Amino acid sequence: MSLTMGGGPLADDAPSTVNYAVDGPHHALYMSAFPRRVRAELAGLDVLDSDRGYLVHETRLLPQLYVPTEDIPAAMLEPSDHTTHCPYKGDASYWHLRAGDRVVENAVWAYTDPMPAASWLHGLSAMYMSAADAWFDEEEPIEGHLRDPFHRVDTRPSSSLVRVSLGDQVIALSSGAYVLSETGLPNRWYLPPGDVRRDLLVPSRTTTYCPYKGRASYWTLRVGDREIPDVAWSLGAPLKDGQDVRDHYCFLHDELEIAVERK
């Protein structure tokens, strides 16, 4: 997303509305300093602790944190025979991660002899997010991935009339919705609960997590004998970027019509 996805300047669907050309490969790499301390814990022990990290942005991929190799304790690393090859960065060597009795195989990798075009990766290592029990951006827990500093989420109150329908059945109707604009994604409309036919919605077991907005709970629509799962979501305990739309409903489903009338 941001620089590397959704039409960003390093995406493979980069915009044509520019007065410059990128003189380089179709697959782009860009490394920028991450401004805060990042920690990872496994079995209650710190397995990564760095305030010298970098985010590597890569076409079609989410940004990946790399830190100086010495910021991952060497005593917790065991060499692995596993290797991978990236045509843009080179050959990656891997290490198993051991914390107490816990071992995570091939958890850490590094380009010990990177390709010339990515020589700045020398001396840096990366760790899979799934390899640790917990991650922290300063003291804030991280889920999913680190927030991309080039990614934005903005919410604005709107006077537009938003109608959500299933055929002739109106599910929600609001002129007090918020429009949420997120980098690389279409606008989403969040409707206040009083403008939603909540008697037609039942909780779903589905949840998703956004590092910018927080955890979303989903809702199933029941109209007569029909049941359509996961037609809407809401944020009950949002992160900072989702505070304005707390407990509002956002609808998105192929069987629904979402009409927006500007006043």
Domain termination residue (choose one: 142, 174, 205)? 142
Evaluate whether residue 20 is within a structural domain: no
Evaluate whether residue 22 is within a structural domain: no
Number of domains in the chain: 2
The answer to whether residues 75 and 102 belong to one domain is yes
The answer to whether residues 157 and 251 belong to one domain is yes
Mean pLDDT of 170-195: 96
Residue 124's pLDDT band, with cuts at 50, 70 and 90, is very high
Evaluate whether residue 6 is within a structural domain: no
Specify the pLDDT at position 94. Answer: 98
224: helix, coil or strand? coil
Closest alpha carbon to 135 in 125, 127, 147, 143:
143
Mean residue pLDDT across the chain: 94
Handedness of CA 118, 89, 137, 218 (dihedral sign): positive
Evaluate whether residue 63 is within a structural domain: yes
Evaluate whether residue 1 is within a structural domain: no
The answer to whether residues 60 and 104 belong to one domain is yes
Specify the pLDDT at position 24. Answer: 66
Domain that holds residue 252: 153-261
CATH no. for residue 203? Answer: 2.170.150.40
Evaluate whether residue 44 is within a structural domain: yes
157: helix, coil or strand? strand
Question: Rounded to the nearest 5 degrees, what angle is found at the Cα of 188, between the Cα atoms of 182 and 194?
Answer: 135
Q: Is the pLDDT reported for residue 20 higher than 80?
A: no
Rounded to an integer, what distance in angstroms lies between the CA atom of residue 17 and that of residue 8? 12
For 112-146, the DSSP string reads: SS--GGGGGGTTEEEE-GGGSSEEEETTEEE-SSP
SS3 content of the chain, % helix, strand, coil (to 5): 10, 50, 40
The answer to whether residues 175 and 203 belong to one domain is yes
Dihedral in degrees, nearest 10, Cα atoms 27, 31, 36, 42: 60
Rounded to an integer, what distance in angstroms lies between the CA atom of residue 230 and that of residue 238? 19
Residue 188's pLDDT band, with cuts at 50, 70 and 90, is very high
Give long-range contacts, CB 8 A cutoff, 24+ apart: 100-104. Answer: 100/43, 100/44, 100/45, 101/43, 102/42, 102/43, 103/78, 104/42, 104/128, 104/131
Q: Tokens for 223, please give them.
A: 């109209």
Residue type, 107: A
